[in-house]
Amino acid sequence: MYEGSMTMTSAEPASTPPAPPVSLAALLARRDLGLRLLAGPEDVSIHWVHTSEMADPYPYLLGGELLMTAGVLLTDPAHYVERVVEAGAAALAFGVTPVYDTVPAELVEACARHGLPLVEVPPKTPFTAVARALWRLMAEARLHELRRVTEAQQSLAAAAARPAPVPAVLGALASRLAGRAVLFGTDGTESVAAGREVPAEAARALRELAGVLGPRPGGPASASGDGGGLRLAAYALGGGDGLTLGVATERRGPGDHTIAGVAVVLLSLLTAPHRGADVTVRDGALVRLLLGAAPAEVASTLGPGPWTVVHATGGDGTPFAAASLAAALGTPLVDAGAHADAGAGTGAGGDADPGTVRLLVPSSAAVTSQEGWTLGASAPAEAAELAAADAQAARALRRAEATRTPLVRHRPGGIAALVDPDEAAAHARALLAPLTEPLGETLRTWLSLHGSWDRTAAAMDIHRNTVRQRIARCARLLDRDLDDPDVRMELWFALKSR
């Protein structure tokens, strides 16, 4: 039996911070801060930083933070440390001066007794400098993780396009995680395995962990634990046939869960039951799109369509949530590359923002709003028109986010609909700024009546000479030739946008 605890999750916790944690040792290594470890270990992970001068900070801590204090209300160091440890703080940083000249000995003793790392912050180092250094270290760690995940996704997607895709994906996964990857059948036996051999105890524990998942409807999507000195994880594939992916590694690093999730998506696609020859060919085209192929290159094998491109934000940032969204919309392809890197994505084109999942959905499948997600859907498009559809989906998603609408579909609206409303309004304000009322309204009425002096005068109940004078003044203030049809068109769009 595997040792230690096991957790079963369908996704990462909602409270997971947006950046990976950094080691306290990395913060202590910053010589410019002058930090000094007085008690406890330095190999703890810090998720965030929080400053508090409360006598009891417990209600305000989330756990995993570096708590910073100058001890303004510190009266009982032993009780204070107990509450900090109970709240789950990763470490305590104590600033000397202006309240204390040195760190109280009782505080050092209490931290040592509870194993809570205690860091001395010298007078010359403001708390904000420590917080800024921590965020910079987190940003560096995040960048490293994003690059690693992006490279792994590309490697896994390339493996999925090989003649023997399942062993190739397992091999790529094992290589990226420096461990062993096993595909377990419904009876718990190893179907395919790749990577280095592991001790018999670890192999048995991994098989038992995979058996915890099984094909039960509504069961957990993943489980983790320890066994044979290794970190173990198991993931249920999404094909509905009870297959499970097991992974054994020496350590669990930032991004490992996401990399394994990408493999789960690909393996679910590759092992889906009842795959006809036409489906296999189509899925091969989808994988090529995931690798960055242009739509024109795969149009003949992708099928004529029509297709709907969907951009989505939300979920919890994991491929599991993206895969669930894809399943709900009836498509096997998930491009979660924007979660890992803004430059990674399908060959469908477009300019998806970081954190955007892109889906390619058969237009025969109904695109409906999904709980926890904001969606933008393109108009139905043929395979050769996916680049334009991708841009439509991106604009629709921006409108959905701006209006806080769960789902916005692209609606053909002529040339004006291609311009971002906020950008158009800003341009209109700048262009029409010289015009005061009633000049603006006169120009708008005149343009709407195709430059007719008499009809404009009748509509505004003024003399036709007044109309001529106002329009001439508009031309001078705008420095535009109002007889030019291009100028008239631009001004009309600006007046509509304003």
How long a stretch of residues is the chain? 498
* Sign of the CA dihedral with 51 first, then 53, 55, and 59 last: negative
Between the two ends of the chain, the Cα-to-Cα distance in Å is 69
SS3 content of the chain, % helix, strand, coil (to 5): 45, 15, 40
Record the pTM.
0.51
Name the least confident of 56-70, 175-189, 235-249: 235-249
Q: What is the pLDDT of residue 33?
A: 94
What would the mean pLDDT of 432-453 be, rounded to a whole number?
90
Provide CB contacts within 8 A for 454, sequence distance 6+: 464
What would the mean pLDDT of 275-285 be, rounded to a whole number?
53
Q: Are 233 and 260 in contact (CB under 8 A)?
A: yes
Residue 426 vs residue 113, higher pLDDT: 113
Whether the per-residue pLDDT at 293 is higher than 90: the answer is no
DSSP 3-state of 302: helix
Extract the tokens encoding 195: 């990577």
Provide CB contacts within 8 A for 465, sequence distance 6+: none
When mean pLDDT is compared over 74-83, 156-165, 440-449, the highest value belongs to 74-83
Q: What is the pLDDT of residue 162?
A: 83
Q: What is the pLDDT of residue 300?
A: 56
Q: What is the dihedral of CA 83, 89, 91, 97, to 10 degrees?
A: -60
Q: What is the pLDDT of residue 18?
A: 55
Q: Are 202 and 227 in contact (CB under 8 A)?
A: yes
Q: What is the pLDDT of residue 302?
A: 59
Residue 81 vs residue 363, higher pLDDT: 81
pLDDT in tens, 147-165: 888 888 888 888 888 888 8
Q: How far apart are CA 94 and CA 98, in angstroms?
A: 11
Q: How far apart are CA 171 and CA 156, in angstroms?
A: 9
Whether the per-residue pLDDT at 16 is higher than 70: the answer is no
pLDDT in tens, 413-424: 656 666 667 777
DSSP 3-state of 233: strand
Name the least confident of 212-226, 275-289, 312-326, 350-364: 275-289
What would the mean pLDDT of 26-30 be, rounded to a whole number?
94
Q: Are 480 and 487 in contact (CB under 8 A)?
A: yes
